[in-house]
A and B are shown apart, each in its own frame.
Chain A
């Protein structure tokens, strides 16, 4: 069985995230970046299947040079190999272009049975790429999966979206997972050492047969018109409870017409 895990290198939420002032794209260079936290659950789920049987796990990313760190983390956790789609023309790509590139990468990997992703990236956070991939590759997509079992060629999943549903889909399928599905392993020393020897391929747009003009900022189908840093919230009145904290709270809510 062949499993692709899509991983994304994102600015650390705990760092001071910002936009490139020239073109309003996410600043991916001068900000500390990490493997999107939610992708760790996707890697773990793939590794669990691999641990339980015979499966090859391939971590795939698209992004600038530094994005290889996301691959590295997946390899340290236990993925078998990596693919980094790297091309200057990709800068500023929207979700539609991203899904075009990742769909081509999945096809180039070939004969993929399962694609795992996180439920969202922790930067853009649109949550739309998995469904776009399913649409492009004509595969089933089961999103927001909190529990998964594989039974031969069928996935059975508990989908925790607006309501909880049990869903079945025949492989090949795309599955996005939530943080409820497992507890991601921390790379072991052995894993970190082994990762250094694991193969990582770098593919350009030409390798994927994609015209550079169809991706990137200038080909995006939506445009950011303005970016405004929101003034930090100013702290309002804070009182210390001296036996009347609750009454004061109620008085504030009444003042603000919430009661």
Chain B
């Protein structure tokens, strides 16, 4: 069966959920090989086996961690040159996309980003994307070289399929050009204890209607095990960090459930959440455009509606 390369997205060996989704998709397309680049492979081994990697290419080198992603693109290109895979899958996040972009040039191959689905069709590997703020659904195929596809979080439900991967160490040699952008400091990932915004199955977002008090938004998020998002208005007002901004100039999310509290729903915001499966809206203003996309809406003050919902949810869970 054809080999499908999956670049492992991890922090020091802690494998992110998107990678387990990619491995699940790769199993439908062929035989998944994980490519582990960076440091901390020992911590990643079990997860990669649990989600069915038939093979793992391991490239461990401190220089891979000290620079932006150009060296990773070189290593992945090197693995692809020998493996001759049928496709290469990466996570659709800033680093994944940059590696994919560089790889497309190195391998002279077509690139598709932001896929929400990848299937093996008669005509070849076919992707689905949602474009123009979710207004259109597009299917596409790579027609030249090795298909390189970046896949958005939540594109598949991770399904375990225990394997015993063959491990292959990759000798790493990095060009000087790839070392031109050096990381001098790296902040730790947020330690809110909440799921990662772009990966979360549920997102609760607050906007101008919070008046700066995200307490009710965070409490509901915690009751639901959700990530917290924010509209641009809330971020620009300094009420919530930019890393949580959902929308055209922030992050794109596509969770199972999106709760918009005190957000009017400008097109720029909708662009970042339109592919959410279920949308719930709480807003004082019955005329807010976001109600048009609500599967369920409450016209009311989030400061009373959210705490009541949180209390009720906590009660139902108990």
Contacts and interface: CB of A to CB of B under 8 A. Distances in A.
B308 A136 contact: no
Nearest to B297: A238
B126 A225 contact: yes
B304 A245 contact: yes
Contacts of A230: 130, 134-137
B104 A132 contact: yes
Interface string B132-144: 1111111111111
A134 B68 CA distance: 12
Contacts, number: 265
B256 A246 contact: no
A138 B177 contact: yes
Interface string A164-193: 111111100100001110000000000000
Interface stretch (B79-87, B206-214, B286-294): B286-294
Contacts of A232: 292
A223 B143 contact: yes
Interface stretch (A48-56, A72-80, A91-99, A204-212): A91-99
Contacts of B132: 17-18, 123
Interface in A192-241: 220-230, 232-233, 235-241
Interface string B229-273: 000100000000011000011000000110000000001100100
Contacts of A256: 257, 278
Contacts of B295: 233, 236
A223 B111 CA distance: 10
Contacts of A162: 93-95, 189
B300 A224 contact: no
B280 interface: yes
A37 interface: yes
B111 A249 contact: no
Nearest to B177: A138
B202 A239 contact: no
Interface string B70-88: 1001000000000000000
Contacts of B169: none
Contacts of B313: 250, 253-254, 259
- Chain A interface mostly: mixed
Contacts of A169: 180-182
B305 A246 contact: yes
B297 A225 contact: no
A259 to B, nearest CB: 5
B186 A163 contact: yes
Interface in B168-206: 177, 180-189, 202
Interface of B: 11, 68, 70, 73, 93-95, 97-98, 100-102, 104-106, 109-114, 123, 126, 130-145, 177, 180-189, 202, 224, 232, 242-243, 248-249, 256-257, 267-268, 271, 278-282, 286, 291-301, 304-313, 316-317
Interface of A: 13-14, 17-19, 24, 37-38, 94-96, 99, 119, 122-129, 131-132, 134-136, 138-144, 146, 156, 159-170, 173, 178-180, 220-230, 232-233, 235-241, 244-254, 256, 258-259
16 contacts: A37-B248, A38-B248, A144-B94, A163-B186, A163-B187, A163-B189, A166-B186, A167-B68, A223-B143, A225-B139, A235-B294, A238-B296, A239-B299, A245-B309, A246-B298, A254-B316
Given A236-B295, A246-B310, 16 more contacts: A24-B138, A129-B101, A132-B102, A132-B105, A135-B106, A161-B93, A228-B138, A237-B297, A238-B298, A245-B298, A245-B299, A246-B307, A246-B309, A246-B311, A248-B298, A249-B298
